Structure 1
Amino acid sequence: MTQQRWSEACERNRDPILAALRPHLRDRRQVLEIGSGTGQHAKYFAAQLPHLLWQASDHPDHLPGIAERLAGAALPNAPAPWPLQAVLAPVPGLAPLPADRLGFDAVFSANTLHIMSWRHVQALFAGLPAVMADDALLCVYGPFNYNGNYSSDSNRQFDGWLKARDPDSGIRDAEAVDALAAAQGLALIEDVAMPANNRLRVWRRG
């Protein structure tokens, strides 16, 4: 049996995220989750949104734990996770891309942009057109700065902790992320305030 990782934060934030996602995912059919981590969100959201196929993905090292968690849930709409990550070479993007079932009408990622380096954030956005349908939504949850300013003292402290651990990580400026999205044909349609000074930001392609 694989040692499954556990995130208390996932348990705390899953219901507020679900409430914010529901209106956007009501007419969606296939969601690709990038950076599924422990698999807790994938398991919970797939169970709560049975009309969706919820495809988890992450770095290959994290897949055994995610796979075991999803297999234990035995949800018909939560298949085995894919290996998928932002890469810088040979060209910036998402890799490896599977041979089939691309064209997702929604992409979701939680608590990833501030963990990745900015170059990897750029690569993630560069890779989105390869996995998204023409009218797909991108839903990203996590902390953001606005106009170069922290939204709270706790986010300032969190950013300091992130940078002390890894200087390439850190809370991203919303305007810089919006520019990456716009370069891939994505327009911001909602920016929802969430508990603990986080946001759920939603873009539409096309």
Structure 2
Amino acid sequence: MTMTAALHSPAADRNKQVILDVLLKALPRRGRALEIASGSGQHVAHFAAAMPGWQWLASDPSPQALASIAALWPEGLTPLQLDVLQSPWPLPASHQEVDAIFSANMLHISPWATCAALMQGAARHLTADGKLLVYGPFIVPGTPTALSNEAFDADLRGRNPAWGLRSLVDVQDEAKAAGLRLVNTTPMPANNLMLEFQRSET
């Protein structure tokens, strides 16, 4: 009966392996990780199965998403109800300090304030060498935006004026204000990017 609560995202099925490939290259073999806005839970379940040295904590503000995560990973995952705009984040003792924070496809389907909140939360909870990895479509100034991304952006803004694809420069500015710097940008399929942030050097 639990499985009936599981949501399904075709996009998550398509991109979970290519995202995992980047995580395996970017991260060490062991650590603690937090996923922000886990949605259906397809990503975190896939990552946890393929990264046995990592302790993953999934999170989402939606009760429906939390039920889906638990259904996809019935072996004991207890997802956390967390809205990135909460301050402080209500993280358990096991994940007050984490080696990685991952978020996919959140910034363009939430208000712009979530970007600053994500960066500030990452700065509070990442270890000294920890990484924030952010996946999704972005507008890169000076680079032509794919027609599919332009159409997607228009569709998002039509549904909610507070949504829309974010400028990579604006995202970097919010990261810098929180004490993080962009250290790597990986092109991904379907005109997406993986952004990798770490603490700024002092």
TM normalised by structure 1 equals 0.88
User: Contact conserved, 1:87 with 1:120, CA < 8 A, in 2?
Assistant: yes
Which residue among 65, 82, 85 is the counterpart of 1:84?
82
Between the aligned partners of 1:165 and 1:8, the Cα distance in structure 2 is 20
Between the aligned partners of 1:60 and 1:114, the Cα distance in structure 2 is 17
1:133-175 alpha-carbon deviations (Å, 9 max, x no partner): 1221000100000117652000000001101111101000001
User: Contact conserved, 2:85 with 2:113, CA < 8 A, in 1?
Assistant: no
Deviation at 1:79, TM superposition (A): 2.9
2:52 counterpart of 1:50 = yes
2:184 counterpart of 1:190 = yes
CA gap of 1:151–1:166, structure 2 versus 1, over 3 A, is same
Deviation at 1:22, TM superposition (A): 1.0
User: Contact conserved, 2:36 with 2:84, CA < 8 A, in 1?
Assistant: no
User: Contact conserved, 1:190 with 1:201, CA < 8 A, in 2?
Assistant: yes
Between the aligned partners of 2:161 and 2:30, the Cα distance in structure 1 is 37
SS state at 1:87 partner: coil
CA gap of 1:150–1:144, structure 2 versus 1, over 3 A, is farther
Gaps of 5+ in 2: none
SS state at 1:202 partner: strand
Bigger Cα displacement from structure 2, 128-137 vs 32-41: 128-137
Deviation at 1:60, TM superposition (A): 4.2
2:68 counterpart of 1:65 = yes
Partner residue of 1:129? 123
1:87-124 alpha-carbon deviations (Å, 9 max, x no partner): 26xxxx45333355311011000111101110222222
The one-letter amino acid of 2:70's match is: A
User: Contact conserved, 1:94 with 1:128, CA < 8 A, in 2?
Assistant: no
What's the C-alpha RMSD, in Å, of the aligned pairs?
1.8
Bigger Cα displacement from structure 2, 181-190 vs 6-15: 181-190
Aligned length: 197
Between the aligned partners of 1:119 and 1:148, the Cα distance in structure 2 is 24
User: Contact conserved, 1:85 with 1:94, CA < 8 A, in 2?
Assistant: no
TM normalised by structure 2 equals 0.90
The one-letter amino acid of 1:32's match is: L
Which residue among 160, 163, 179 is the counterpart of 1:166?
160
Q: Give percent identity, aligned residues only.
A: 39
Deviation at 1:28, TM superposition (A): 4.4
